[in-house]
Every structure is written in C-alpha cells, then in structure tokens.
Amino acid sequence: MTTEIAARARPAPGDGGRGRLTVVGTGIKSVSQATLESADVIAAGDEVLYLVADPITEEWLRELCPRAQTLYDCYAEGKPRVVSYHEMVERILEPVRAGRHVVAVFYGHPGVFVHPSHEAIRRARAEGFEAEMLPGVSAEDCLFADLGVDPGPLGCATFEATDFLIHRRRFDPASHLVLWQIGVVGEPAYRKQRPADDTGVAVLAETLLEHYPPTHDVVLYEAAQLVVCPPSIVRLPLGELATAPVASMATLYVPPRERRAADPEMLRRLGLPLKPEVHRMHTTKSAASID
C-alpha cells in the first residue's frame, strides 16, 4: 500500500474515530478490473458492505475483509427497487454514524446507475461526515472496448431505457446511442427472472423505429463478468428487436444512422478548413495533447 493511499484509507490521528464513507467499484469483469487503490481501501475499512454480481468477487472481498457483508439481502421478489435502495443507504450510514470507516463496494463503476452510492455520499456529507467515491471500470468502458466504439468523433448519447421512453429524450441519430437496462424496461420492482411479457422492449423498438429504418443493425451487449468468458455481442436488425430474447443485464447499442455534414458557416467562423478529413483528425487525440 502506498503512503498516500494508506493515509486516506485510515482515519488521521486525533480525529476521534469520526465516521466516514468511501464508495468504490470492482469493475465488471470479476476482480481483474478492480484498482489497486480500491483494494487497499477495502482492506483498511472498519466495515465493508458490498453489492457485486459474481461469487468470485464476493470471495475476494471476504479475503480482503473477513467482516464484509452483502447488501443483496435488501432485494426481495416483487419489492420496489426504491425501497431496497433506501434500506441499502441506511445500512451503509448506520456504522458511519457510529464512528466507523465504512467502505461500500459496488460492481462496475460505483457512480454509474448506482443510486444508493450517490445518496449515501450525499446524506453522509449533509450530516457532517467525510465521504468520497473512487472510480471503477463501467459497463460502458467495456462496451467501447469490445465493440470498437470511439465516442469522440461522432458523439455519444447514453440513457437508461425507461427514462429514455417516459421523458422522450432527444438525441441525434447521427451519433452513437447507448441504452442501459433494456431488459427491465418499465419494471419498478426487483425480479429474479424476467416476465414472459416483453412489452417494454417492444415499445422501445417501436420508438427507435421512428428514427431508424428497420434494417438498421443494432447490438445487444453484455460485458463479460468472468475472465474466462467472452462478452455477449448479438447483432440484429432493429426491426427484429421487439421479438428478440433480451437478457436482464443487456445493453442496447445503436450505431449512427449517417455521418452529419459540417456546417460551412460555422467552419468559417472557427477558421477551420473545409476538408472533412481534417475535421475528423481534429477530434482525435494527438501525442501533443496528452500531458
């Protein structure tokens, strides 16, 4: 453990054992995507509470901290997710209030589609406790790598699928589109198995067909959770999405429909050349731009 990380992982001398919270992520692929920083903090925590997706990561956490306890028991069949999230937040904050250094562990990036992590930090700070979040590898990071998608040159819009539908989110079909949690569209309660009725996916497909042709290829994607397993990448025409089998953890990637032409007037105002290839190069990192 480095001196810098160790100093942050343990309460400073003379702080009176004041409680604090550190939220970390383990990445998507079991253990292998956890950072050294997160591992050091977990090992140094007084209390470790976790919500992870595989038994290998769970065992690794218990090796780092034998006292580690799962938050998975906050879920129950048919129980509203918001109620489960509230219980998780209370479980996390209780030992903080008792003067403990609590480490809350979530799979993936702990700040991406993880309501309890943000709410626990917000409430801890509001009550006067120190609280911070350490980044982790998210499913979106894995998607960019596995599908070879660079969100920079054409832009990328990311939405939770239910939110995308009920708020009629605006997006540009000439950019990349990523829709999360399409396997639980319109499902407010926790379910161990998806219902046979895929109405939510059908509604999502119908909405997307307002912007893309039925022949437009899309991808049903699931990042690999184990080192020995490949990611799940299923390519299909958008017109077949409504009847396709969709896993609960699936993400939908929709590639750009077209390449949008540059605005000549804006190019002139910015003093940029009119050649399209120059604009593409302009949006790519160069060695000189990296500190």
Catalytic residues: 81, 85, 107
SS3 content of the chain, % helix, strand, coil (to 5): 40, 20, 45
Using alpha carbons, select from 108, 127, 124, 101 the residue that is nearest to residue 49.
Answer: 101
DSSP 3-state assignment of 42?
helix
Alpha carbon distance 102, 17 (integer Å): 12
3-state SS, residue 130: strand
**CA 1/CA 7 separation, integer angstroms:** 10
Residues 6+ apart with CB under 8 A from 199: 186
